[in-house]
């Protein structure tokens, strides 16, 4: 099921993300069914980084902090 509650076709691929001078290998989901670009799922990237979003600045900013899971 997709975020809309309707069945959604998702294509899963292994990709390499280049972030903060590091390469993070993740499995990422892609779909044509979203009205705009988005992140599907939280495993892979979000369990390697702490992200702080600051929508109060113009343009909005974010910070990444690398965390190492044990």
Residue with tokens 């509650």: 5
* Cα–Cα nearest to 28, from 42, 7, 10, 14: 14
Q: Which two tokens stand for residue 8?
A: 């959604």
pTM over 0.75: no
Question: Which pLDDT score is estimated for 18?
Answer: 87
What's the structural domain count of the chain? Answer: 1
4 found inside a domain: no
In a structure prediction context, what are the per-residue pLDDT tens digits for the chain, which is 70 residues long? Answer: 666 677 888 888 898 988 888 888 888 888 887 776 666 566 777 888 888 989 898 998 988 888 876 6
Domain presence at residue 53: yes
Element (H, E) at 12: strand 11-19
Q: Is residue 2 part of a domain?
A: no
Whole domain around residue 51: which residue ranges? Answer: 11-66
pLDDT of res. 61: 92
Cα–Cα distance for residue pair 3/6, rounded to 1 Å: 7
Separation in Å, CA 54 to CA 13, 27, 31, 39, 65: 30, 27, 27, 18, 14
Query: Which pLDDT belongs to residue 41?
Result: 65
What token pair was written down for 9?
Answer: 């076709």
Query: Is the residue at 1 inside a domain?
Result: no
């Amino acid at each position: 099921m997709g975020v809309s509650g309707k069945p959604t076709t998702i294509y899963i691929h292994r990709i390499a993300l280049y972030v903060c001078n590091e390469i993070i290998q993740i499995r990422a989901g892609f779909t044509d069914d979203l009205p705009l670009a988005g992140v599907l799922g939280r495993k892979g990237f979000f369990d390697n980084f702490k992200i702080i979003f600051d929508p109060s600045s113009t343009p909005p900013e974010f910070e990444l902090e690398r965390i190492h899971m044990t």
